[in-house]
Structure 1
Amino acid sequence: MARSPVPAPKPQRGRPRDPERVRRILEAAQRHFNEHGLERASVDAIAAEAGVSKMTVYSNFGSKEGLFQAVVRDRTAPVVDGVPGAGALDPNHPEEALLAVGTRFLALARGDALGALRAVYGVAGAQPEACRAFYKEGPERANGELAAYLRRADAAGTLKVRNPLQAADLFLSMFLGSGHIRGLLKLDLPDSRENRALLREAVRVFMAAYGA
């Protein structure tokens, strides 16, 4: 007779976490999820690499799925934290602002965000909460920050933007073409010269469409 699977222990409450130990677990988990995906990643292997017991992983994150969601949240924050917020950008100089946003977003699309995207794509449908959290804290937040800036630039008369959310989406989407896909597939990424050319052209096209 088949035995019922034993549920993973719930995270313990009332005990302070060791930040350094949690960081080791998250970093080890990120590497394993990136390499093996959620289904094939081993909690035993993650614990061994982090230098902790399997029970320590479960006591901090509850389950492998809980650990995966924690990794997604951990990797999501840098995706937009480095993108200048609306309040930090000068609405009187939209070209400079777009160059600043585009430079950071392009770096993320070519580097920091790739591992998180691969992991999330690998569990699309199976982990809706993790996917929803990634979208809300990543793409949706970045798009919202840029849209808020575009509203200010429109009010200042330096841009003419009827639909700021749509315009922000169009601008950021220009950095998610073939170079980004190559990164997701772990192929050779565009070099710095190609990235600079894409950045300049994206800003030129946007200003041609929305410049006052």
Structure 2
Amino acid sequence: MSDQPVLAPKPQRGRPRDPERCRRILEAARRHFNEHGLERANVDAIAADAGVSKMTVYSNFGSKERLFQAVVHERTATTVTGVQGAESLDPDQPEKTLLAIGARFLALTRGDALGTLRSVYGVAGAQPDVCREFYKDGPERFNGELAAYLRRAHSAGTLKVRNPLQAADLFLSMFLGSGHFRGLLMLEKPAPREDRALLREAVRVFMAAYGA
């Protein structure tokens, strides 16, 4: 059956969306996009999985492409929750803070977010707006939040960071090695002890380079 929203009704103005129904649609869509990608994912199957009609999916999201954009936005909105609000992180304890931030980012490079990353890679070139939004709301935002913390730690005298954005990028890049690529390729992931060792070493190297 075609995925084209030829007969899809336009959303009714003033009619509030059902949050629970939207949540079910987004969760079902995320599973299907992660498993099949944008092109092969089927709206009929997504609707059935969410327990709604195909028309309901289209009336809430307009098209399969806009549903994919909503899934990407919803996923990237959660990627920076571990570092969001840099003003609340203690600039006097950079090693402890970096361990916490690194653990959060490392979990993202190993976990469920990889499915969304694979999906976005799959539409690179064909969906530039989706890719741009993913980058802005995910990697760029996470890097910016970390840079804001590093700037405060520099002001507090606990770190010496001349270029916070570059330093943040270098720190996060230390978690994008072989373990991350194995996860992207759905191969065997590193053991938890390997990840803990990587985290400690990344923070040690960063503190050696930028410690006051």
Q: Do these two structures clear the TM 0.5 threshold for a shared fold by scoring above it?
A: yes
Q: Percent identity?
A: 82
1:179-212 Cα shifts (integer Å, max 9, x gaps): 1111111111111100100000000110111111
8 Å CA contact retained: 1:11, 1:60:
yes
| Pair 1:181–1:7, CA change in 2 (3 A) | farther
1:35-57 Cα shifts (integer Å, max 9, x gaps): 11101111111111111111100
Name structure 1 gaps, 5 residues minimum: none
8 Å CA contact retained: 2:35, 2:115:
no
1:93 paired residue number: 93
More helix by share: 1
1:66 paired residue number: 66
- The 5-angstrom pairing of residues 139-154 of structure 1 reads 139-154=139-154
Amino acid at match of 2:101: V
8 Å CA contact retained: 2:91, 2:156:
yes
Structure 1, 84-93 or 181-190: larger mean CA deviation: 84-93
Q: Which runs of 4+ in 1 moved over 3 A?
A: 5-12
- The 5-angstrom pairing of residues 4-153 of structure 1 reads 6=6, 9-153=9-153
Aligned-residue offset at 1:72: 0.4
Give the structure-1-normalised TM-score.
Answer: 0.94
Aligned-residue offset at 1:11: 3.3
Q: 1:85, 1:192 → 2: CA distance?
A: 28
Q: 2:68, 2:47 → 1: CA distance?
A: 14
Aligned length: 209
Q: 1:22, 1:6 → 2: CA distance?
A: 21
Name structure 2 gaps, 5 residues minimum: none
Q: 1:168, 1:7 → 2: CA distance?
A: 48
Amino acid at match of 1:153: A
